[in-house]
Amino acid sequence: MKKILLSGLLLFLAMTGLAIAGPPETLTAAYQQFNALFTGEWQQYGQLFTGLQKDLFPRLFLLVITIVPVFFFLHYVAIGPMSFPHDGKQVYCYTLFVRIIHWLAAVSFSLLVLTGLLVIFAKLLGGGSLGIWARIVHLVTAVIFSASVIPMFLFWVREMLPAVHDLKWMLIMGGYLSKEQKAVPAGKFNAGQKMWFWLATIGGAVMAVTGYFLYSHQGNIDTLRLSAIIHNVLGAAMVALFLVHLYMSLAAIKGSLRSMISGYKAEAELKILHPRFKY
Amino acid sequence: MGRMKFLCDIERCIDCSGCVVACKEGNHIPVGVNRRRVITIGQGQPGEKSISVACMHCSDAPCIAVCPVDCIYQRDDGIVLHDKEACIGCGYCFMACPFGAPQFPGGQVFGARGAMDKCTFCAGGPEETFSVKERKLYGQNRIAEGKVPLCAAMCATKSLLAGDADEISDVYRERVFKRGSGANAWGWGKAYKDK
């Protein structure tokens, strides 16, 4: 009896679906309308976001924060850092204002990276209030970084414009893959520094906008989903180049950290790493 | 073990929002958070239909997949619950959910979101069953008391069904048979137009 009922029901449903496809008064059409209301747009960005967050983003960040340091460790062991005599003539490269802005951006950006990674890997730390505080610190430092990146963009943008010799610099990887010290094609800033500059300023602006959406939950749901995707992908790129910048300034070129503190660079270093720089 | 589900019979739902009020009152939901809501299509026109929607307690739930702290989990009976003390309020579950079920109370420091709140199928949370903490964080645990969720229990037209999937779909199937469909359907047309 139950079987007959069931097959009868199926036949009924099929018939009603075929006979009255258009008018929204039918049950089937009404359910279809509700379905479109609930899940219609989900297939577009909701599914994309779910898939990416489930399978890609945490792994992407894990890859970045493991592979990049391993690569640099190997570089440090195999090729070693560059070292230049610092007792010769000194060249004044960075004014006090530039250095203050740089360190304001540097400290806030470091905190952004740290708290961002804390949110992504919050499960390892149990989540809860630690994650909530990481998000609040992320917000405050984002405001400080956004404020400091504007003057930074203005005083460096002219020297950061791409030039033809940047391609050559990229091809020889800035000369970091060989032990011998040969002059590389670079002006005041080399192609690597330029990439970092544009990613930090323009990319930083994009991060600020998408981050505003994510933090405030303003805008429609697809805006939020796209913001989350952009914020994560761009964030991974920024973390990667942040680690590069960290390695270059702290380890790969001996004494380069001092130039951002005192403002002076040794002429011997500039002749090799920034030969086109007219000072 | 059964599979708990909600089923809303849209031929019976009259948009009274009793389920929303019952849920909000019975579970002491904070202001600005609605675990359940009623959505209406074709409002004011003949053939207007309403549906009551909350967390659908999905199989392979997207919220579970995206949560960065793994605080959302699914019980053996299909009910999706979450740990409010581990939640960091990132909002990813809200972006992953097709139904807009996860809600966030505001009013925290720096405008931050608090821990996510959503329908628990009136099954409490990970805290000890019937404890004060469970009631404070998640509301009533009516499933442990052997009752259906508040919304379904108070539904005046019995359009919102909650319970084991097989049983509530049986109830619904019998209803559809009795009502008939297509040309024989007992509804607006038969009652007011083609007497």
CA distance A151 to chain B (A): 26
Rounded CA separation B42/B52 (Å): 15
User: Which residues in B lie closer than 8 A to residue A24 (C-beta atoms)?
Assistant: 41-42, 47
Q: Could you give phi then psi for residue A110, rounded to 5 degrees?
A: -60, -40
**What tokens does A33 get?**
């309308």
Rounded CA separation A164/A179 (Å): 25
Rounded CA separation B55/B102 (Å): 8
Mean pLDDT of A185-192: 86
The residues in A 58-87 lying below 8 A from B, measured between CB atoms, are 58
Question: How big is the A-B interface in CB pairs under 8 Å?
Answer: 124
CA distance A111 to chain B (A): 17
Among the partner-chain residues B98, B111, B177, the one whose CB lies closest to the CB of A42 is B98
* Residue A29: per-residue pLDDT: 85
* Residue A246: per-residue pLDDT: 92
Cβ contact, residue pair A120, B68, below 8 Å:
yes
**What tokens does B135 get?**
């009631």
pLDDT class for A176, splitting at 50, 70, 90?
A: confident
More confident residue, A84 or A22: A84
Among the partner-chain residues A9, A15, A120, the one whose CB lies closest to the CB of B173 is A9
Query: Is B191 an interface residue toward A (CB < 8 Å)?
Result: no
Whole-number average pLDDT of chain A: 85
Asked if pLDDT for residue A28 goes beyond 90, the answer is: no
Query: Is A10 an interface residue toward B (CB < 8 Å)?
Result: no
Chain B's closest residue to A6, CA to CA, is B173
Candidate from A27-36, A90-99, B14-23, B106-115 with smallest mean pLDDT: B106-115
Quote the DSSP letter at residue A178. S
Q: What is the pLDDT of residues A205-240, one digit of tens each?
A: 999 999 999 998 888 899 999 999 999 999 999 999
Rounded CA separation A190/A187 (Å): 6
pLDDT class for A270, splitting at 50, 70, 90?
A: confident
Asked if pLDDT for residue A2 goes beyond 70, the answer is: no
Cβ contact, residue pair A120, B86, below 8 Å:
no
Other Cβ atoms closer than 10 A to B145: 10
Choose which CATH entry (3.40.50.720, 3.30.70.20, 3.10.20.30, 3.60.15.10) describes domain B4-193: 3.30.70.20
CA angle B37, A214, A130 (to 5 degrees): 100
- The percent of residues above 90 in pLDDT, for chain A, comes to 46
* Residue A103: per-residue pLDDT: 95
Asked if pLDDT for residue B1 goes beyond 80, the answer is: no
Q: Which sequence spans correspond to the domains of chain B? A: 4-193
Q: What is the pLDDT of residues B4-19, one digit of tens each?
A: 999 999 989 999 999 9
Whole-number average pLDDT of chain B: 90
Rounded CA separation A260/A100 (Å): 9
* Residue A15: per-residue pLDDT: 42
Q: What is the pLDDT of residues A59-114, one digit of tens each?
A: 999 999 999 999 999 999 988 888 888 788 888 889 899 999 999 999 999 999 99
CA distance A108 to chain B (A): 18
Query: Is A17 an interface residue toward B (CB < 8 Å)?
Result: no
Q: Which of B80, B64, B59 is nearest to A123 (CA)?
A: B64
Mean pLDDT of B109-136: 90
User: Which residues in A lie closer than 8 A to residue B71 (C-beta atoms)?
Assistant: 127
